[in-house]
Structure 1
Amino acid sequence: MARRQVRVHSCRTANQTGTTRRESTADTEAYLLVVDGANTNPELNKVMEIWNATANPPYAMRSPAEIAAYFDGLEFVEPGLVDVTEWRPEAGDAKRLDNLIGLARK
């Protein structure tokens, strides 16, 4: 029976890109879950510039393409990489939060 390994990653600083990868053995079914702030909202980007002027460490906002790169070589589980409000839409209508979430497997 294959073991399951889940890696949960919330990317807050600019230098965390490489920390999402973890090698798994042949008998391990590996999953990666990433939740990250996307830089798709100009108003939120302005707020984050003010925050980052004094924050330690600063919060890194990324483009959807940068966030998608965490999943290179992995297969997305439905619904793919989406805003957190779209992950389980049956919860009702919600305002976009500009935080992307994705789950993928090796």
Structure 2
Amino acid sequence: MTADIDKETLIYTIIANIPAGKVASYGQVATLAGYPQNSRLVGRLLKVMPNDSVIPWHRVVNSQGKISFPEGSDKYQQQRQKLLLEGVLFKKDKVNMREYRWE
């Protein structure tokens, strides 16, 4: 197994452990995986994740608490709806990271 595969597995495992009703930022996931300068890698891994994956990708937002998909896009609406169904509330277009951030 290569180091890259280990890194990917670790990142996916961390995302899989974000509980319902909580969110984590890309940078937070990268830091928890031991790669604090790799938030873009987290985004790339989420982008290539299979559509049938059970990993809760929707619980990862940017550091400002915003959904990274273009506002109004299908993916933006899907992520927002999944978070709302878990009780994560938005103020305008942001999640309150103090309240909903996974610790």
Same fold at TM > 0.5: no
Q: Name the larger-Rg structure.
A: 1
Whose helix proportion is higher, 1 or 2?
Answer: 2
Which has the larger strand fraction?
A: 1
